[in-house]
Amino acid sequence: MKQRSELQQAPNQEDIENSSTTASPPPMALSIASSTHFNPTQWFLRGLTLSLAATFSAVIGATVALTLPLPKAIDPQGDNQPLSIADLWSRGFGYTISHPVNILVMGIDLPLDLPEGQSSDNVFAGRSDTMLLVRIDPTANTVNVLSIPRDTQVEIPGEGVMKINHANVVGGSELSAEVVSANLNGVSIDRYVRVSTGAFRELVDLLGGVRIFVPERMVYEDQTQKLQIDLYPGWQTLNGEQAEQFARFRNDATGDIGRVQRQQQVIRALRERLTNPAVLPRIPQAIQLFQKYIDTNLTAEEMLALAHLGLGLEQNNFRMVLLPGRFSTQDEFIASYWLIDPGAKDQVMQEYFDISSVSILNQEYDSPNDLRIAVQNASHDPQVGSDVVAYLQDQGFYNVYLIDDWPDQQDQTQIIAQRGDLEGAAFVESILGIGQVVPSSTGELDSDLTIRVGDDWASQPHI
C-alpha cells in the first residue's frame, strides 16, 4: 500500500464512496473551496500537518496545531505579524471533508537488528505495538478513536488464530486493514498511517517533555525492545525515554490493556504540550525529524482537509474508547489474548462508527440503573467514596462498587465512560449533580463507568 491516492481537484463537492482497503484507495470525499499553487509556506504547512497528523493518530496533533500561532518568520504577507494556521486557511487553503472518514493508525515496533540507513519498507515491517481506528465525522464535528489492544485474538488469513499485531508483519497495512474490518463489523478503512515507534522518544524530547501523572512505582525490563523501565509515582515531566517507559510498561495485572490506557494518557498530554508557545520554534525541526518515521497513503491535500476539520473541534468532541473484551485464561489458550466482547463491540461500533448490527437492532435498551459503576475516591476526604456508593444505591443503582483510592487528589469529579457509554455517563452526571464526562477508557477495566470523585462532591446540597 505504498501508492499515494490522487486528489481530484474540482470546484464542486465530490461524493465518492470510500470502502477500499486496497493499494489504490479512492480519493476521500473532499469539498474544495479554492485551489492554489504550492509555495514555501504551503510546503511548511504540508510538512507540519503530515508530522503532527501521523504522530497524533493522524488528526489529533493537526487539530491542536491549527490553534497555534506560527513564528513571525513564516509571514507570507510581509507584515511581520504572527499568524495561526487558521489565518493561512482564510487566505486560500480551502480543503474540507464532506463525508466521514476512517483511518487506521499503527505504531510499528522498530526491528532491533535494522542497520542504519535501511529503507522505510524494513522500518515498517515490524509488529503494530499500537493500533487505533480513527473516525473523522465532519457532520457531527467529532473525532472518535478506538484503541485496539495488540493482543486482540483474530483470525489472520493464511496464518490462523493469532494476535492482531502480527498482521502487519505478514501483510503490511493492507492485511492489517483487512483484519480490522473483518473483526469490526465490516467497517470501511479509507486510509492508513504507520508511524515507527522510534519517533516517539525524539518527539517528546523535542517538545521539552510531557507532564504525566504516574500512578505507581514502575520497574520492569522490556527485553524485546531493550527498554529498562524505572519510574517513580507522582506528577512529573517525563523526557522521551521516560515517556516511552510509561507507555510501554506492562508488568501489572492489567498487562497490555494497561498499556492502552497509558497510551491514551500520553496522547492527551502531548496534545496539551503543543499548546505551549515555547514549542513553536521547534516545529520546523519536528517536520524534518518525522520524514523518516512516517508511512501513509494520505495525500497532502487530504491531510490539509483533516486538519481543517480541527478548527472547530471542541475538546469534548474528541473521544477515545477501548475495544471491549476480557483477558483469556490459562485454561483457554497457551498464549495470552484479549478476547473481544461481541455485544459490547457492536455497541461501540454503533455509537462511535455508525455501524449497525443485527444484535444492536434486536437489543432492548437496558435501564441506566443496570450500569456497572466503579467508584474511586480522588478527594481529600477518605469517606467520600463510600458516601457516593451509598448515594447512588439510594437512587436505585444496584450494581455499584468501591475500588481502591486514586493516588492523586482532584478538584473535579470525573465520570469515565470506560466502555464508551456516553449516554449512560451523562445520565449519572445528572444524578450526581457534579462532574465531567470523560470520553476515554482510563477507568476500572470491568466497569461500564468509573466515577473518580473529586473535592467538588463536598459542595453538593445532598451531602
Q: Which tens digit of pLDDT belongs to each residue from 327-383? A: 888 888 888 899 999 989 999 999 999 988 655 555 555 677 889 999 999 999 999
Instruction: Give burial (CB, 10 Å; 0-12/13-18/19+) of 14.
Output: middle
Q: Find out whether 321 and 307 touch, Cβ atoms under 8 Å.
A: no
Helices (H), 365-414: 384-394
Does the pLDDT value for residue 306 go beyond 70?
yes
State residue 307 phi and psi, 5-degree precision.
Answer: -65, -35
* Cell numbers describing residue 364: 432492548
Q: Which tens digit of pLDDT belongs to each residue from 413-463? A: 999 999 989 999 999 999 999 999 998 888 998 899 999 999 999 887 765
Tell me which DSSP letter residue 336 carries.
-
Question: Domains in the chain, ordered, with CATH?
Answer: 1-207+274-363 (3.30.420.590), 368-459 (3.30.70.2390)
**Neighbour tally for 165: CB within 10 Å:** 24
- Name the packing angle between helices 255-273 and 240-248 (round to 10°): 150
Identify the pLDDT of residue 110: 59
Q: What percent of the chain clears pLDDT 70, i.e. is strictly above it?
A: 65
Pairing of strands 101-108, 191-196: parallel
Between 112 and 264, residue with greater pLDDT: 264
Does the pLDDT value for residue 35 go beyond 60?
no
Residues β-bridged to residue 355: none
Does the pLDDT value for residue 61 go beyond 60?
no
Q: Which tens digit of pLDDT belongs to each residue from 240-258? A: 889 888 888 876 666 667 8
Does the pLDDT value for residue 326 go beyond 80?
yes
Does the pLDDT value for residue 387 go beyond 70?
yes
Identify the pLDDT of residue 214: 92
Nearest CA among 135, 125, 120 for reference residue 189: 135
- Confidence category of residue 200, pLDDT binned at 50, 70, 90: confident
Nearest CA among 459, 440, 458, 460 for reference residue 450: 440
Identify the pLDDT of residue 312: 56
Candidate from 294-298, 349-353, 399-403, 459-463 with smallest mean pLDDT: 459-463
Q: Which residues contact 257 (CB under 8 A, 6 or more apart)?
A: 149, 322, 327, 338, 445
Please give the helix or strand (H or E) that residue 438 lies within, else none.
Answer: strand 436-438
Between 318 and 394, residue with greater pLDDT: 394
Distances (CA, A) of 171 to 127, 153, 183, 185, 438: 11, 17, 16, 21, 36
Identify the pLDDT of residue 75: 44
Does the pLDDT value for residue 51 go beyond 50?
no
- Name the packing angle between helices 384-394 and 422-432 (round to 10°): 100
Q: Which residues contact 15 (CB under 8 A, 6 or more apart)?
A: 29, 98, 99
* Cell numbers describing residue 312: 472547530
Identify the pLDDT of residue 154: 95
Q: What percent of the chain clears pLDDT 90, i.e. is strictly above it?
A: 35
Candidate from 43-57, 99-113, 159-173, 274-288 with smallest mean pLDDT: 43-57
Q: What is the mean pLDDT of residues 51-70?
A: 38
Helices (H), 16-160: 40-55, 60-65, 85-90, 120-123
- Confidence category of residue 206, pLDDT binned at 50, 70, 90: confident
Rounded Cα distance between 178 and 139, Å, is: 26
* Cell numbers describing residue 240: 522521551
Rounded Cα distance between 406 and 428, Å, is: 20
Between 39 and 322, residue with greater pLDDT: 322
Nearest CA among 196, 192, 195 for reference residue 2: 192
